[in-house]
Each structure stands twice: as C-alpha cells, then as structure tokens.
Amino acid sequence: MRVYEFQAHRIFSQKGIPSPPGEVAETPQEVKQIAEKLGKPVAVKAQVLVGGRGKAGGIKLAPTPEKAQQVAQQILSSPLKGVPVKRVLVQEALSIKEEYYLGITIDRAQKKVVVMVSPSGGVDIEEVARSTPEKIFKIHVDPLLGFKSYQANELALALSKDKNLVKGITRILFSLYHIFVEMDCSLVEINPLVVTEENSLFALDAKIIFDDNALWRHPEVSSLRDIDAEDPLEVRAKEAELSYVRLKGNIGCIVNGAGLAMATMDLVKHYGAEPANFLDVGGGASSEKVGRALDIVLSDERVEAVLVNIFGGITRCDIVAEGLVQVISGKNMDLPLVVRLAGTNEEEGRKKLESIKRVFLATTMDEAAKKVVEVVKG
C-alpha cells in the first residue's frame, strides 16, 4: 500500500527525520495562506500516488503567495497522469547545495533488507543505477543482527566527509531503518535528502510503501488508505476478497490463480486483443464469489466480452458455472461470454452452461482466447 508524500513526511517527522516546513492544502486560497505564513518562496507539490510527478508538471516553485495561489490553481484543476489532484503540499523552498538518495527495500535475490545511498540524488535513481552503478552504495542487513552503526557510518561517509553531516545522515538512516522494520514496509525512500546552504539536512521528498501482507498488525497504517483515490471497481473487488486490477482493454477476464490469470491475459493479447482486467477468484471459490466477480467485470463499461478460464483443482467447475448462471439469468446480459472449464467436475459445469444464449464453451485455453477475440472483432 502506497501513501501520500505528506503522510510519509508525517511519519518521518515522528521519527525525527526533518522535512522542510510546510502544510497540506485543498484549495488555492489555503495555499496562499500557508505561503504567507511561511513567509518564504515555496514549492507547491501535487499529492498523488503515481511516480514521475515532477516531470509531469506536478511540482512548481512560487516566489510569492500570489504566485503560489496561481500555480496551485493550475495543479489542482487538471489531472496528473490521469489522476485527479485533490491536495497539494506547500513547503518552504530551500536553497540547496547537495542532493542525496537514501532508500531501504528488500533485495529479493539476497532475501535481505538492503540499505542504499547515492550522492546523485534528486533524479531518477533507476537511471543512476543503470548508467553509473558505481554511484550507488548498498549494504545488506543481517536478518538476525539488524542494521549496525558501522554500516550506517560507512554509507554516510560515501556521501559526505563533513563530520556534522555524517552524523546527521547516520541518524536519518537509523530512523529510516526503524520505520522500515517496525511498520513492515516494502520501500522507504528519501529522494532527495538535501544539504542546504546552511549545512542542514532535510528530506525534500518522502516515499513509503507498506507490505500489504502485514497490514493486519498495523491498523494505524491501514487508516491512511485513501479509498476515494482508488478505482471503485478495485475497491468493490477487495471487499469481495477478489484480486482484481483494472486495465485498459475490452476483454474481461475471470480466472482462478494469479499465474494462470496472467497467462490467460497474455494469450488474449497474443490473439490480437487487450485484456480489460486481471481477476483471480482464488482457490475453492464459491458460486457467490464467482457471481460477484462476473458482476464486477460487467460493471466495467469498456468490457465487450468476457473470458472465463478455470482450471479446477480445489475449485469446482460446477460451482463456478452456477455462479455464472445466477448472474446471467438475473440480468439481461447481452455480452458474449466464452467459458473454458477444465478439471474437477468440468462435465457438470459445462452442462449447466450449454443451453445458455451468448455463452460459448471452449475446451482449451487457446481455443477460448481465440474465440473471445473473434467475437469482439466480429
């Protein structure tokens, strides 16, 4: 789960990581008042959960409160990378001498927490990693020992030789590490951590991604979720305990299992169409759950046909068919539905669907994908 920059800054400041003075605003008027209060030139930053905000015009500098109000008007009135901007963060614009990168994540290959720093902060860090990997310094944390002082010291020394700054960076690295492990994060990042002309350190940006699997032990984190910013269909799916991601195509997909769901989408694409969604009904789905899945897929107005691909193990094909029939008979569905059932009780499942208008039965996954593309393309 991602949170907004201003939320991440709040968590940072609770752990003693300094952020530039600033506040969140929802209207240009508020932005002006905050800028007046700060009494300095400000940066107005769109609060959205997508990356590459700066490049997309979501961050603007303003020397005066009036100018701040004006740029806030612009930022708040137009969507950023397709996402409406509801809030902006207004921060004092600092005079910057240096920009560093600090980040902590999980190195999947090493199966360890990795703490990374770079003297080339402020830019796309992936680009730095690609073009000048020698500018990224990494330390893996022993899972039983934890992050040690000497490691923080080594990393800080890779960024600066200034005694005070090394001390400050070390402290910030420890705070970041504590946030990472205590709150079960999958990423915490400061890009950039800046050194001002006055030789002070500030986290100019703040990014935290939490591990969804650990949210049950962090109710304080779950409460930061902004449901309004999420796709309404994805919210409905989550409530129904379905794993669903909305995409841009017109072929709705209902599959059991994440791997098979992705392979099914790939096959739709292979035969020349685009999937409208990823949807995994999970193992051993009930007919109600399958029904809710079909309901959600049909609620996406881009969907022109639905492909159901079930490989029954613990999932029973007859129960899946029942769930589909309940929804189809309940509403006047005029969209074609291509269904492929294999495995446990496939015959019983097929029988339930055989006589239904607009339902096409397929025996293999390939045949099903080909068929659904064909019915859409006419």
Partner 1 sequence: MSILVDSDTRLMVQGITGREGSFHTHQMLEYGTRVVAGVTPGKGGERVDGVPVYNTVKEAVRDTGANTSVVFVPAKFAPDAIYEATDAGIKLIVCITEGIPTLDMVKVCYYVKMKGSRLIGPNCAGVISPGKSKVGIMPASIYKEGRLGIVSRSGTLTYEVVYNLTRANFGQSTCVSIGGDPVIGSSFIDILELFEKDPQTEAVVLIGEIGGTDEEEAAKFIRSKMKKPVVALVAGKTAPPGKRMGHAGAIISGGEGSAQQKIKTFQKFSIPVAESPLQVVDLVRSILSGGS
Residue from the set 16, 39, 63, 283 that interacts with partner 1 by CB under 8 A: 283
Is residue 230 among the annotated active site residues?
A: no
Q: Which helix (H) or strand (E) holds 196?
A: strand 185-196
In the bound complex, what is the minimum distance in angstroms from residue 144's beta carbon to partner 1?
7
Write phi, then psi, for 170 (nearest 5 degrees): -55, -45
**Closest to 34 in 3D by CA, of 1, 75, 64, 8:** 64
Stretch that binds partner 1, among 63-71, 163-171, 190-198, 339-347 (CB under 8 A): 339-347
C-alpha 140 chain-centroid distance? 25
Of 5, 98, 189, 322, catalytic = 189
* 181 contacts partner 1 (rule: CB under 8 A): yes
Stretch that binds partner 1, among 12-20, 77-85, 209-217, 294-302 (CB under 8 A): 209-217
Write the binding mask 137 to 176 for partner 1: x where contact by CB under 8 A, - elsewhere.
-----xxx--------------------------------
* 130 contacts partner 1 (rule: CB under 8 A): yes
Is residue 101 among the annotated active site residues?
A: yes
In the bound complex, what is the minimum distance in angstroms from residue 59's beta carbon to partner 1?
20
* 217 contacts partner 1 (rule: CB under 8 A): yes
Cα separation values, 55 from 51, 58, 98, 203, 297, Å? 9, 7, 20, 19, 34
- 209: β partners: 2, 187
As a whole number of Å, the CA-based R_g of the chain is 25
- Return contacts of 234-240, CB within 8 angstroms, 24+ apart: 236/296, 236/299, 237/279, 237/293, 237/296, 240/289, 240/292, 240/293, 240/296
Where in the sequence numbering do the catalytic residues fall? 101, 189
Contact residues for partner 1, defined by CB under 8 A: 51, 106, 108-109, 111-113, 126, 130, 142-144, 181, 184, 186, 211-214, 216-217, 243, 245, 247, 255-263, 265-270, 274-275, 278, 280, 283, 311-314, 342-344, 364-366
